[in-house]
Amino acid sequence: MAVEGFQYLALYAFTKDQEEDLDLQPGDLLTVSKASLLSMENYKEGCAEHPEHLGWLLGYNERTKQRGDFPGTYVKYVGPVKMALPSSQPRSQRPLPAAPRLDSNQAVSMPDLSEQFTPPETAPPTLVSLIQAIEKRGISVSTGQHTCLLSVWPPSFRLHATVSPSPSASYGAVAGSHGREVSLVLESSTTVPLHHRLTLQYLLTHLAKVTQAQASNGLDTHTLGQIFGPLLIQTGPSSPWSLDEEFAGLVVERLLIERTTEQDLTPPVLPAKPAKSKMAPSAMTDINSLLTDAEWYWGEISREEVNEKLRDTPDGTFLVRDASSKLEGEYTLTLRKGGNNKLIKIYHREGRYGFSEPLTFLSVVELINHYRHESLAQYNAKLDTKLLYPVSKYQQLVKENSIEEVGEQLKVYHEQYQEKSREYDSLYEEYTRTSQELQMKRTAIEAFNETIKIFEEQCETQERYSRESLERFQREGNEKEIQKIQSNSERLKSRVKEIHDSKRKLEQDLRQQVSDNREIDKKMNSLKPDLMQLRKIRDQYLIWLTQKGTRQKKINEWLGIKNDADDSYSLEEDEGSPHHDECTWYVGDIKRTQAEEMLRGKCDGTFLIRESQSQKGSYACSVVVDSDTKHCVIYKTATGYGFAEPYNLYSSLKDLVLHYKNVSLVQHNDQLNVNLAYPVLASSQNQNQHPR
């Protein structure tokens, strides 16, 4: 995805003194996103072109492939650019293929520069490879190395002479220009495409390095201008310099002089950088408290325990623990990806956290929350997933050994769940009521507007006719009629005023009620996580008790559900239930349509289990709900059978059926408020079907 940004060219060398800074070398190209500049307090429209007024900028160095801060006084503006979201990993260098041999008579067609590379790249890959090869051999090499560069220089790299300083400029004006005259003209010219400007800057950076070793290689600015001028500058037929061969060399020589002069200048004073405020002890305590309270933070547990908790979980499941190094502030994120556990170290330095430099997050909680919404591919291309499913320490499997202890704990959680549910239901009823009132008030305000419109039109009509009648009655001296007209007018105006006042009061009430309704909505949203958490914990205790063979009557007592008078008898007779005979509900490998045909006309709660057609190795439950057949997948995992995590705990399909005989499927799907009550073949015991 491309985003808007700006490019800057480093003018001076800068060595970072803080971890979040960037090292700079003259000629480095830096990209800064527009969003980053907009977040700055001193940002004004157009100030991107004057980085020296912006202080420190957050950008990306194309040479070092690193992101960080750099001083705006050390760079100059290049231009706007569409930039890709940068990867935190440097691009690996691929080996260069051997150059193909061309016949002398074979014409070579090179694409335009704009087709050869895309910003934030700074030059065509061919040119980059050639210059890298030359610099690897050493910039003190003789002219022969650069002659090789001339032999493969394509015409598409050339700039046209319409970018010269001015139509009336002479050679002496170009060669003797002061400051950055030629560079500024090139940068501001609309006739020079961005790709050509970037390529020129890239090559000039290399040539400026070459001039530093002129004592050994004999390549000074004048010589390099003569060599590369004709390659870089192409004059048009209508140009005043079209017949002058030395002009292109003088332009390049002037550019190199400017570049080398810039590198010799004393760097400007660094802009003031805001001092990092040290966190107050209370703030540190709050951050530590947030981490301790986070459901995914498990503190000091072993790697083996982590592996156990993440076993058979889907990709995106994660938890955080203290690092095995025991160093304060260091943690380990364990993430499930591709069926394996990935260990990711969380670094800490000077109050900042992150997976790699630069560390930008103020806390571990902020770091984790960020990657719950953003893919970790930003950090590592192979980890193309978000932190989706936290392993909650508040949802631990039941550890008590005594059924009575577990039952009492179930009672506590169930009471808490009911209390929160009642609070939520009360808020929901109030929210529904006030929402209806809000709609009625909005309708009333619309009616007021229509009424006011009618009365105002009536006032205008009455005023027009009253004016004519008053003039006539005044001529006649009829005071009685005059007073009558004036009285009617005052009553009508008074009525309009009353309607306006009533409307204003209603609008005021509406604004207050909208505010109150938002508060109710906030309270409801804050209760939802608690309700979900308590429900999950309660359901885990229910599963544990059911697996231990606890009778439903006893479970109902802990849940506060009154048992029917004949319940004990029905439980004692449970062993004779048709659910124990798998032949009554398992029908093997049949199609979905066949299952629907078997259940057509059956009562709610009638069900069957079959092999899944869509997910091989799994099963499907087809059950009648509200006189309609519904289907849901039964997963077969390493931990057992079940409809969803973390409920895949049943050792067999039979155990699952016996559990959901007494427990509704609504906990997995709001549309399945039904138990597996009646096996479809309960009256056909002679079926020869056997579950696998």
Q: Is residue 565 part of a domain?
A: no
Distance CA 556, CA 543 (A): 13
- Residues 599/621, Cβ–Cβ less than 8 Å: no
CB atoms within 10 A of CB 50: 12
Q: What is the pLDDT of residue 121?
A: 66
Radius of gyration (C-alpha) of the chain in whole angstroms: 40
Q: Is residue 102 part of a domain?
A: no
Q: Give the chain's domain count.
A: 5
Higher-pLDDT residue of 376 and 468 is 376
Higher-pLDDT residue of 322 and 2 is 322
Distance CA 129, CA 117 (A): 13
User: Among 337-351, 392-406, 448-462, 628-642, where is mean pLDDT lowest?
Assistant: 392-406
User: Is the predicted pLDDT of residue 225 greater than 70, yes or no?
Assistant: yes
User: Among 329-333, 362-366, 534-538, where is mean pLDDT lowest?
Assistant: 534-538
Residues 529 and 618 in one domain: no
- Residues 233/247, Cβ–Cβ less than 8 Å: yes
Residue 691, CA distances (Å) to 587, 592, 610, 611, 654 in order: 8, 17, 9, 9, 9
Residue 69's Cβ-count burial label (10 Å; 0-12, 13-18, 19+) is middle
User: Is the predicted pLDDT of residue 150 greater than 60, yes or no?
Assistant: no
pLDDT band at 640 (very low <50, low <70, confident <90, very high): confident
Residues 174 and 236 in one domain: yes
Residues 241 and 335 in one domain: no
Q: Is residue 570 part of a domain?
A: no
Higher-pLDDT residue of 689 and 555 is 555
Alpha carbon 644 to chain centroid distance? 27
551-554: long-range contacts, CB 8 A cutoff, minimum separation 24: 552/662, 554/407
pLDDT band at 268 (very low <50, low <70, confident <90, very high): low
Mean pLDDT of 262-273: 53
**Dihedral angle computed from the Cα positions of residues 117, 118, 122 and 128, in that order, rounded to the nearest 10 degrees:** -20
Residues 34 and 74 in one domain: yes
Residues 352 and 482 in one domain: no
* CATH number (domain holding residue 624): 3.30.505.10
Q: Kindly state the tokens that stand for 86.
A: 């940068």
User: Is the predicted pLDDT of residue 203 greater than 50, yes or no?
Assistant: yes
Share of the chain above pLDDT 70, in %: 72
205-211-213 Cα angle (round to 5): 120
Q: Is residue 113 part of a domain?
A: no
Residues 534 and 422 in one domain: yes
Residue 641: domain span: 577-679
pLDDT band at 399 (very low <50, low <70, confident <90, very high): low
Residue 68's Cβ-count burial label (10 Å; 0-12, 13-18, 19+) is buried
* CATH number (domain holding residue 479): 1.10.287.1490
pTM of the model: 0.32
CB atoms within 10 A of CB 264: 6
Nearest of 227, 153, 27, 248 to residue 218 by alpha carbon: 227
- Residue 125, amino acid: P
User: Among 52-61, 84-93, 333-342, 449-458, where is mean pLDDT lowest?
Assistant: 84-93
Q: Kindly state the tokens that stand for 553.
A: 């009557």
Q: What is the pLDDT of residue 335?
A: 93
539, HSE (Cβ side, Cα atoms, 13 Å): 21
Element (H, E) at 421: helix 403-476
Q: What is the pLDDT of residue 118?
A: 64
User: Is the predicted pLDDT of residue 168 greater than 50, yes or no?
Assistant: no
Distance CA 174, CA 197 (A): 19
* CATH number (domain holding residue 80): 2.30.30.40
Strands 586-588 and 606-611, bridge-based pairing: parallel
- Residue 149, amino acid: L
User: Is the predicted pLDDT of residue 396 greater than 70, yes or no?
Assistant: no
Nearest of 683, 637, 676, 671 to residue 656 by alpha carbon: 676
> Residue 319's beta-bridge partner residues?
334
CB atoms within 10 A of CB 443: 10
Residue-wise pLDDT tens digits, 318-348: 999 998 877 777 899 999 888 789 999 999 8
Residues 582 and 540 in one domain: no
pLDDT band at 240 (very low <50, low <70, confident <90, very high): low
Distance CA 79, CA 197 (A): 10
Nearest of 162, 201, 207, 156 to residue 185 by alpha carbon: 162
Nearest of 45, 29, 48 to residue 203 by alpha carbon: 29
User: Among 1-5, 279-283, 532-536, 617-621, where is mean pLDDT lowest?
Assistant: 279-283
* CATH number (domain holding residue 252): 1.10.555.10
Q: What is the pLDDT of residue 346?
A: 93
User: Among 170-174, 220-224, 469-473, where is mean pLDDT lowest?
Assistant: 170-174
Higher-pLDDT residue of 313 and 162 is 313
Residues 362 and 431 in one domain: no
Residues 308 and 252 in one domain: no
Q: Is residue 569 part of a domain?
A: no
Residues 388 and 418 in one domain: no
- Residues 607/678, Cβ–Cβ less than 8 Å: yes
Mutual angle of helices 403-476 and 479-547, in 10-degree steps: 170
Residue-wise pLDDT tens digits, 458-498: 787 777 777 777 777 777 777 787 788 778 878 888 888 88
Q: Per the omega criterion (within 30 degrees of 0), is the bond before 26 cis? A: no
Of 32, 60, 84, the domain-final residue = 84
Q: Is residue 65 part of a domain?
A: yes
Q: Is residue 687 part of a domain?
A: no
Residues 227 and 332 in one domain: no
User: Is the predicted pLDDT of residue 597 greater than 90, yes or no?
Assistant: yes
DSSP 358-389: SP-BSSHHHHHHHHTTS-GGGT-TT------E
Distance CA 464, CA 470 (A): 10
Q: Is residue 430 part of a domain?
A: yes
Residues 539 and 586 in one domain: no
